[in-house]
Amino acid sequence: MISVNDFRTGLTVEVDGEVWQVVDFQHVKPGKGAAFVRAKMKNVKSGTVIERTFRAGEKIPRARLDRREMQYLYNDGSDYVFMDTESYDQISLNKSQIGEGIKWLKEQMTIQVLLYQGEILGLDLPNFVELEVVETEPGVKGDTATGATKLAVLETGATVQVPLFVNVGDVLRIDTRTGEYMERV
């Protein structure tokens, strides 16, 4: 059990049988009445965000998530197959279990799988991935000063906005949290 007074960003708690991650919180001490904690929490499984108010000092169960390092092997059409790097056990996850991170998965990539009480909740991708451009309009000399962008299709099928000087075959560093182009590698 953890007191809501000890909330911090990133903490995982169990509320109403669901696992939630604290996104933002605020301790409020009104001039009249008891203090309370207003928390913005994200459901780890579904991704929905709620705002909830707790009485100051209220105790709630802490959810301990296990992180297991796994390697993405391949996509067999409907499922994505991962291998545990310690035990070499293979598991299959569907698109809904992986979520938005599916567009950044590259074969042989090592990722963290989040588990709660033996149940897979999702993936924790690295913050940055390096992917090759497979399709984009050709760049023209002098296209570096305007700040304009164009669409590029990456090797995983994801599309991102890139500067005009990026060409097919370039390897780009992409931020998986925002889906934005960072730099050419």
**Alpha carbon distance 171, 131 (integer Å):** 5
**Alpha carbon distance 67, 48 (integer Å):** 21
pLDDT interval class at 141 (50, 70, 90): low
Residue 59 scores a pLDDT above 90 = yes
Domain 66-124 in the same topology as domain 2-60: no
Pick the CATH number of 128-184 from 2.40.50.140, 3.40.1350.10, 3.10.450.50, 1.25.40.10: 2.40.50.140
Say which range, 18-27, 37-46, 115-124, 139-148, has the weakest mean pLDDT: 139-148
Per-domain residue ranges of the chain = 2-60, 66-124, 128-184
**Alpha carbon distance 111, 97 (integer Å):** 14
Q: What percent of the chain has pLDDT over 70?
A: 96
Which of the residue ranges 55-69, 93-107, 108-122 has the most confident prediction, judged by mean pLDDT? 55-69
Tens of pLDDT, residues 152-177? 999 999 999 998 888 899 999 999 88
Strand 12-15's sheet: what is its strand order?
12-15, 18-28, 36-43, 49-55
Q: How much is the pTM?
A: 0.71
Tens of pLDDT, residues 75-89? 888 889 999 999 999
Topology of domain 2-60, CATH: SH3 type barrels. (2.30.30)
pLDDT value at residue 140: 67
**4, 111, 172, 181 from 175: Cα distances, Å:** 32, 15, 10, 7
Residue 145 scores a pLDDT above 70 = no
Looking at the domain that runs over 66-124, which CATH code has it been given? 2.40.50.140
**Alpha carbon distance 165, 144 (integer Å):** 6
**Alpha carbon distance 14, 178 (integer Å):** 27
